Each structure stands twice: as C-alpha cells, then as structure tokens.
C-alpha cells in the first residue's frame, strides 16, 4: 500500500491525473488488487473509528513517558492521566468520533513523538499528534477507494486492448502492522 499511496500523493501534489491509458500496465503492477485494497480500507477505517480501551491507553502512555529523556523530572502519572482524561472525557477532542483514539493512531503518535520531541510531549502536543494521525488514516481510507477506481480503469483499458487478464488476488502481499 505504501508505494501506491505515495504514487497517488505525488500525482496529487503535481496536480496530475494518476490514470493514463499508456500507464495502465504499470498501474496494475503498482496498485494492489481490489481484495487487498478493500482489506486496507477496512483497517484504515478501524483506525479512525475504533478507539482503544482506556485500560490499554493508561499503560501505553505511561511507557511512552517513562522512556522519555526527561522521565526523572516529570510527573508521568499526572501527564498520563491528563492525556487519557482528555481522550475519553473531552468531546472537543473526539470530533465526530467515539471517545478516545485507536491503538494504531496512538502507536503512530508515540513513534512520531519519539522522533520529534526530545522530552516527553505535553498533553496538548500529544493529543494534536493523535488527531493528525487519525486524519491521516481517514485520508488513507479515502485514497484506497480512489486507488481501487484507478485499478478498475486500468483493468478495463487492458481488457479493451485484448491483453491477458491480470491476477485478481494477491497471495504474496504481507500487511505491515501500523
């Protein structure tokens, strides 16, 4: 999925259409088959819609805080409780979703916090990262539908040319956890 999503992003940024009949065969090699796109879309939607349980969030955030460079100088319990309270009890944070964030969103936010913050992120900074990653999963879900349509168009074009049918399933593709 990564290569396909990157290709779509590149063409959007350049304000170019991704599908071009001359590139149909190349697109079929790059864009996963529809079954895989459907599974990816479902995973992305779950990452947007299915919040992790609060009992999972507390130790996860606690571990993030304990692993920060300034762990000895912060009150990790206070920050952990602050983050979790905001996630589950502040409707402004939820947007149009259930209280909380999904495990994939939280995991990606923790990874980004490690990359971009020398110290433990503040409550506001961490919640902002979670909101950004939820938005990214939402966009990826929409992008999988666009990629499916592009793949259908490429398959139709190849079929019109009388070329052999392209494979319809992808047994060798391995999904990488978020």
State pLDDT tens for residues 29-44. 888 898 999 999 999 9
Whether 173 is covered by a domain: the verdict is no
127 lies in the same domain as 58 = yes
149 lies in the same domain as 79 = no
* Nearest by Cα to 79 from 87, 132, 45: 87
Run means of pLDDT, 10 residues per run, the chain, 178 residues: 86 81 83 91 96 95 86 82 94 88 97 87 93 96 92 87 57 56
36 lies in the same domain as 102 = no
Whether 166 is covered by a domain: the verdict is no
43 lies in the same domain as 104 = no
Whether 72 is covered by a domain: the verdict is yes
d(CA 64, CA 169): 39
* The two structure tokens encoding residue 49: 């819609």
Identify the domain containing residue 83 by its residue range.
52-136
Number of domains in the chain: 2
Global pTM reads 0.81
Q: Positive or negative CA dihedral for 130, 132, 136, 141?
A: positive
């Amino acid at each position: 999925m990564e290569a396909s999503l990157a290709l779509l992003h590149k063409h959007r940024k350049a304000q170019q259409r991704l599908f071009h009949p001359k590139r149909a065969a190349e697109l079929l090699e790059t864009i996963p088959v529809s079954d895989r796109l459907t599974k990816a879309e479902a995973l992305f939607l779950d990452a947007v819609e299915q919040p992790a349980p609060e009992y999972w969030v507390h130790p996860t955030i606690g571990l993030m805080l304990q692993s920060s460079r300034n762990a000895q100088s912060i009150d990790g319990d206070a920050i952990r409780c602050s983050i979790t309270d905001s996630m589950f009890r502040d409707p402004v944070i939820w947007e149009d979703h259930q209280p909380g964030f999904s495990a994939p969103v939280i995991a990606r936010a923790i990874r980004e916090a490690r990359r971009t913050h020398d110290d433990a992120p503040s409550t506001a900074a961490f919640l902002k990262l979670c909101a950004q990653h939820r938005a990214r999963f939402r966009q990826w879900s929409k992008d999988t539908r666009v990629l499916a349509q592009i793949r259908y168009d490429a398959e139709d074009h190849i079929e019109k040319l009388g070329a052999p049918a392209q494979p319809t399933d992808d047994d060798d593709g391995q999904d990488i956890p978020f």
